[in-house]
Structure 1
């Protein structure tokens, strides 16, 4: 496992934008690394609004979904808001099959995600 960052971090006002820089999130080591990195980023951040940009992700296994649900819960516990953007059709299908598209705010791109979190 590499020490290289798998997540690009950017702030846009009071919104923390996290861009996943993996195309395939299906292996346990990748999921573990992303989970750990997300945990550290959230602990270090005071932002209550998080936008997760998935536009590079072509494949996501169900193992990553539990990481996203945990992230959602952690933000909810601190009265935060969470949205996903740039979800490609194959990944969108995973959210629909698991009905997590009803839990998460899914936006087409970063601009719409920022707008949604600012409402």
Structure 2
């Protein structure tokens, strides 16, 4: 299993279980499981937890962009959490840090989703 998922507070939490997302077969499996979890969910918010991920290929970046588009297509929002400094640097270099909302940890991402603005 490439991911584990749970629903809490109207948020789909997805934990990526692999530490090295370099092998195309692993990335394909992760994409399939992630797509299935998103397709099966009715939650308007998704948090991807990268706490176990240490290395990630550029192919995985492409899959994340695809996942972001899928989530947006469902009129939902996605946040990434626990992204390592090295991987975060890759997001900055590729300017993907502008596409993704990245929070320091899962709890910060959850609070950001649950925060109510002045008008509700």
Place the TM-score, normalised by the shorter chain, in its bin: over 0.9
Partner of 1:93: 89
Matched, 1:27 2:23: yes
Partner of 2:38: 42
CA contact (8 A) 1:82 1:117 kept: no
Specify the SS of the correspondent of 2:53: coil
Aligned equivalents of 2:76 and 2:19: distance in 1?
27
Matched length: 115
Question: What do the CA deviations read for 1:41-87 (whole angstroms, capped 9, x no partner)?
Answer: 11111112000000110001110111111111111122110000000
Question: What do the CA deviations read for 1:6-52 (whole angstroms, capped 9, x no partner)?
Answer: 11111111100000011000110111010011111111111120000
TM-score by length of 1: 0.92
Aligned equivalents of 2:43 and 2:20: distance in 1?
27
Tell which structure's C-alpha radius of gyration is larger: 2
Shift of 1:109: 0.5
Show structure 1 runs of 5+ residues with no match: none
Aligned equivalents of 1:82 and 1:10: distance in 2?
15
Aligned equivalents of 1:93 and 1:30: distance in 2?
23
Matched, 1:103 2:99: yes
Aligned equivalents of 2:65 and 2:13: distance in 1?
17
What is the root-mean-square deviation of aligned Cα atoms in Å? Answer: 0.9
Matched, 1:74 2:70: yes
Show structure 2 runs of 5+ residues with no match: 116-120
Aligned pairs (5 A) from 1:4-15: 5-15=1-11
